[in-house]
Amino acid sequence: MARVLIAGFGYVGAELGRLLAGDFHSVWGLARHPGTPTPGVEPIAADLGVPRSLDEIPPALDYVFYMASPGGSDDALYRMAYVVGLSNLLEALTRAEQRPKRIFFVSSTSVLAQRRGEWVDESSPAEPEHFSGKRLIEGEQVLKDSAYAGTVVRFGGIYGPRRTNLIQTVRTGSAVFRKSRTSWTNRIHRDDCAGVLRHLMQVQPLDPLYLGVDCEPAARSEVLQWLAGALGAPPPRAVGAHDPALRTPRSNKRCRNDRLLATGYRFEYPTFREGYRALLNELN
């Protein structure tokens, strides 16, 4: 069995830890303030931004999952989470003379800033304009430039238990979409995020980059209309591009998951319909 560190033990990390502990791996979950314990996962209280706090990471690690989050929408916080924190952890591993088989860096499809609804994959240029995507790309490069074998997984929009804001906006009749253009969305359920990472830990050989999205990019209008039908709620409103109720997306693309599927992964929730149906069943 493997020895695994999950650095950034949060929403997805806790589910990944639960899965790996169930597979009888030895798992540690690192967070600044460890929350509710996950059975089978040993908590570590440490700050990725403070190098000396990383001196007590477990020895002889086989795999590391870097899953930090910035904790706010600020450039300095993003740089600390994805660039400085990762650099600090890699340096701690080097000081301890550790050689994990692989380090996984959890990134985001937001680094792909295409705007015309293009189909994109792992070979598409990543040229983000917003600081959040730029810091993620910097973090990806830190891992690529390191002495460690690394794989980046760029997840789409993550939804799942306790992340039900979209459902609430539809239920209350406040959901809107842009009437003049199709706005494409790319999603993945939290359980599939954890499932993908668990699966990739067992795959050989691995590519350096995967897009972690489900099997069907969907127009925002389609998702909202489906939810309205499932909830028996008022249909979402189509509004103009400058309506204050409309949140303008930073990109508009359709992500392919062919490379991920080629590894043998099979989705628990292959489209938004299965995923949101499960959430609605839990809420009822």
Domain CATH number, residue 58: 3.40.50.720
- Per-residue pLDDT tens for 53-93? 999 899 999 999 999 999 898 999 999 999 999 999 999 99
Is 141 within a domain? yes
- Per-residue pLDDT tens for 93-129? 999 999 999 999 999 999 999 999 999 999 999 999 9
The Cα–Cα gap between 5 and 73 comes to 26
The Cα–Cα gap between 74 and 257 comes to 30
Find, among 52, 34, 121, the residue nearest to 91 by Cα: 52
For 81, other C-beta atoms within 10 Å of its C-beta total 22
Find, among 191, 198, 207, 194, the residue nearest to 275 by Cα: 191
Q: What is the mean pLDDT of the chain?
A: 95
The Cα–Cα gap between 101 and 5 comes to 12
Q: Name residues whose C-beta falls within 8 Å of residue 9's C-beta, 6 or more positions apart in sequence.
A: 17, 29, 30, 31, 34, 38, 41, 43, 67
| 165 secondary structure, DSSP code | H
The Cα–Cα gap between 156 and 109 comes to 5
Q: How many domains does the chain have?
A: 1
Contact present, 214 and 157 (Cβ < 8 Å)? no
Instruction: Name which of 14-18, 33-37, 142-146, 201-205 the model is least confident about.
Output: 33-37
pLDDT of res. 180:
73
pLDDT, mean of residues 158-165: 94
Is 238 within a domain? no
Is 121 within a domain? yes
Is 208 within a domain? yes
Contact present, 231 and 280 (Cβ < 8 Å)? yes
The Cα–Cα gap between 6 and 9 comes to 6
CA-based end-to-end distance of the chain? 39
Q: Which two tokens stand for residue 58?
A: 């477990």
**pTM of the predicted structure, to 2 decimals:** 0.95
Task: Give the structural domain span for 196.
Answer: 3-158+189-217+253-269
pLDDT of res. 249:
74
pLDDT of res. 178:
84
The Cα–Cα gap between 159 and 187 comes to 7
**pLDDT of 245 higher than 70:** no
pLDDT band at residue 250 using 50, 70 and 90 as cut-offs:
confident
pLDDT of res. 71:
86
- CB-side exposure of 82: number of CA atoms within 13 Å? 27
pLDDT of res. 62:
98
Is 211 within a domain? yes
Contact present, 49 and 30 (Cβ < 8 Å)? no
The Cα–Cα gap between 142 and 267 comes to 30
pLDDT, mean of residues 38-49: 97
| Residue 178, SS3 per DSSP | strand
**pLDDT of 247 higher than 80:** no
